Amino acid sequence: MIAIISCSKILLPKMKSKMVMCHEKIGWTRAVYLVAWAIAISIILGAVGRLAINLAKAYAIMKKANHKG
């Protein structure tokens, strides 16, 4: 436990100096666009998934209705 703490005290200051936040590398405007695109894509994929599920349900209902006919 002591070795881990002492190792982290040595390594963390060096790591922090090399770490750069995403928005600092690409700029705030571009970071906002990336987040907006990620949200839009997730919404679209969710809608497509729900549509596929609803189509599968409708197909199963129609198939079941046709077999009883």
Does the model's pTM come out above 0.95?
Answer: no
What dihedral angle (degrees, nearest 10) is formed by the CA atoms of 9, 10, 14, 19?
-40
Quick one: tokens of 40? 């839009």
Q: Which residue has the higher pLDDT, 6 or 48?
A: 48
Within 8 A by CB and 6+ apart from 22, the residues are 31
**Dihedral pair phi/psi, residue 20, rounded to 5°:** -130, 135
Q: Report residue 19: phi and psi, to 5°.
A: -80, 135
Q: 12-69 pLDDT, tens per residue? A: 555 555 555 665 677 888 888 899 999 999 999 999 999 999 999 999 999 988 876 5
